């Protein structure tokens, strides 16, 4: 069993996101917007290639991002059957999927965490890895390195990578 507290204590980062897997993005936007006091969602579809446990897969997603206080809320609806988002929905149903943590160096943070990576991808300079903590924590931890602020382009309500 992974000591999640020890994992979280091994790297410095900023918890910036709570992400949820859903089976109906439009319904989830309405429900979560009300429940969490979110502003408008920015929504789009993507069909990236991911490394899933050493195998390259396509895992299309419909995504929506909004803000609740100073926390980014991400909603993800899998549009295919592969990847940890689709796996999670099939295994647990809709619900919390991961906590997003900004880090300055992805490799160092993954190494420090000492937990296997379940899924990872690079989107230009934006790089992310989902740590395989779902059996111990009930959700994944996503480590995200974003040196050029690409993620913030999806979040017009943010006034920079870090609100003070």
Instruction: Count other C-beta atoms under 10 Å from residue 86's C-beta.
Output: 21
Sheet of 49-52, strands arranged across:
42-46, 61-68, 71-78, 14-21, 95-102, 140-145, 126-131, 117-123, 49-52, 55-58
Q: Average pLDDT across each block of 10 residues of the chain; the chain has 164 residues. List them in order.
A: 61 81 96 88 91 95 90 94 96 96 92 94 93 93 90 58 40
pLDDT, position 163: 38
What's the confidence (pLDDT) of residue 162? 43
pLDDT at 39: 81
Q: What's the confidence (pLDDT) of residue 38?
A: 87
What pLDDT shows up at residue 40?
Answer: 87
CATH number of the structural domain 4-154: 3.10.180.10
CA 154, CA 98: separation in Å to the nearest integer? Answer: 18
Instruction: Read off the tokens for 53.
Output: 């446990």
- Total-model pTM: 0.86
């Amino acid at each position: 069993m992974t000591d999640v507290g020890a994992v979280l204590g091994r790297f410095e980062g900023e918890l910036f996101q709570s992400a949820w897997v859903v089976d109906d993005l439009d319904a989830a936007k309405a429900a979560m917007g009300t429940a969490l006091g979110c502003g408008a969602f920015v929504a789009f579809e993507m069909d990236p290639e991911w490394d899933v446990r050493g195998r390259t897969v396509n895992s299309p997603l419909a995504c929506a991002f909004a803000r609740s206080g100073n926390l980014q809320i991400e909603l993800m609806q899998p549009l295919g059957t592969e990847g940890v988002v689709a796996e999670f929905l099939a295994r647990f149903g809709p619900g919390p999927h991961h906590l997003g943590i900004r880090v300055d160096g992805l490799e160092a943070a993954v190494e420090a965490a000492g937990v296997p990576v379940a899924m990872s991808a690079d989107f230009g300079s934006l790089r992310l890895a989902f740590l395989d903590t779902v059996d111990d924590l009930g959700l994944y931890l996503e480590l995200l390195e974003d040196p050029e602020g690409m993620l913030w382009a999806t979040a017009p309500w943010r006034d920079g990578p870090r609100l003070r």
